Amino acid sequence: AHMEVLFKFMLKYLNLTYEALKEDIATTKSGSKEKYALVDTCLDCITNYVDWININYVLSHNYYLINTLLELLKLGEENREEQDMLCITASKCLIQLLNRKGKPEERQPLLGLFNDFCIKQIFSCKKTSLGKSNGSNSSNSHMNISYLVQIWIGMGMQLSALWTTTEFERPAQLSIYLSAISEFTISENKVYSYEALQLWNSLLNNKFIMHDETIKEFLINLAANLPNTHLLFRITSKNMINIMTSMLNNEEFDSDEEEIQKFFQKYANELASFLKKSAGMYLQPYLSTAFEWTMKILADTDKFNAQTKLDSASYDSSSYLYLNWDALLYLWSNLMQTVNKMIIIILFFYQY
């Protein structure tokens, strides 16, 4: 009873401070730093409770907290530091909510974030943040998109945990959601890609999700477009450390090379797991892509050798041919492991 009273007080305080901020923004076009700080402090306090307090308190007052968090995410569309920071605080609160554990019936309401309104709100924020982060050195811009990635991943992890029967009502906006996850998967930013790959592996471990027609469509499309994505590139190449260091501005990792190498090893393992699982389900599209890609790079290699009049080309580790052969070797290695596993299973059943 005391927790209910306390949480109602925090929601009331959030409402008062946020309404005051909106009124200030409407009047001054920007809003005072003090009012931003009040809303930020209130949200920060609520964040400490949302992952364990009774879910009914969180959803009270007609989902006021969730609606407010989604509204605050939109503040990231502006370029003011106070708005960026409030957007980040709202993102942290939503992430914490999506990290809830416990009984399925208590977490079921979180799937409401897959409804039409919520998914479009978050999708809109994703596009805006990606646009702002491109070519920007602002740490807040990169943090905004990083937290939004975690929101999308958190939604998917809840979906994976709760989709446990054939009678489960799949989200109507699953296709829009997966398009965002696919975009993160093939992102040049390996941190976003790594988190998306973890989600894919969780989804593909779920026997009720793995054969869903929408999932199948995205996996086959991804297989067909592998050569045109960043997914398989710069995983094992010699210059990956320099690429990683400049791309992340040393914010996600310590500056030492060992930390970055550990990340790339985890990334490679997660990617290998994803390739084996998806290729095990839809082998033909992966083999077709690998074969066509190999034929193209062989032709490009012959052309290069003819132009340079060399019997064998020497490639720089950042060159087009080096990167493509590096990616192809990684792809074929994982596909062959998948094929060998299938052959062993077939021989086992044939024998018995």
DSSP-assigned letters across all residues of 85-138: HHHHHHHHHHHHHHT--S-HHHHGGGGGGGSHHHHHHHHHHHHHHHHHHTT---
DSSP H helices, 134-255, are: 139-162, 174-185, 190-204, 213-224, 240-248
104-136 pLDDT, tens digit each:
999 999 999 999 889 988 877 765 555 555 545
Q: Nearest to residue 21, comparing CAs of 3, 43, 1? A: 43
pLDDT of residue 29: 75
Question: Going residue by residue through the chain (352 aa), what tens digit of pLDDT does each one get?
Answer: 588 899 999 999 999 999 999 998 888 877 788 999 999 999 999 999 999 999 999 999 889 999 999 999 887 555 578 888 898 999 999 999 999 998 999 999 999 999 988 998 887 776 555 555 554 545 555 677 889 899 999 999 999 999 999 899 999 899 999 999 999 999 888 889 999 999 999 999 999 999 899 999 999 999 999 999 999 987 765 555 555 555 555 455 555 677 777 888 899 999 999 999 999 999 999 999 999 999 999 999 888 877 776 545 456 777 888 889 999 999 999 999 999 988 887 877 776 6
pLDDT of residue 141: 59
CA–CA distances in Å: residue 322 to residues 157, 292, 315, 325: 36, 17, 6, 5
Question: pTM value?
Answer: 0.86
63-92 pLDDT, tens digit each:
999 999 999 988 755 557 888 889 899 999
pLDDT of residue 250: 46
d(CA 115, CA 117): 6
pLDDT of residue 15: 95
pLDDT of residue 158: 96
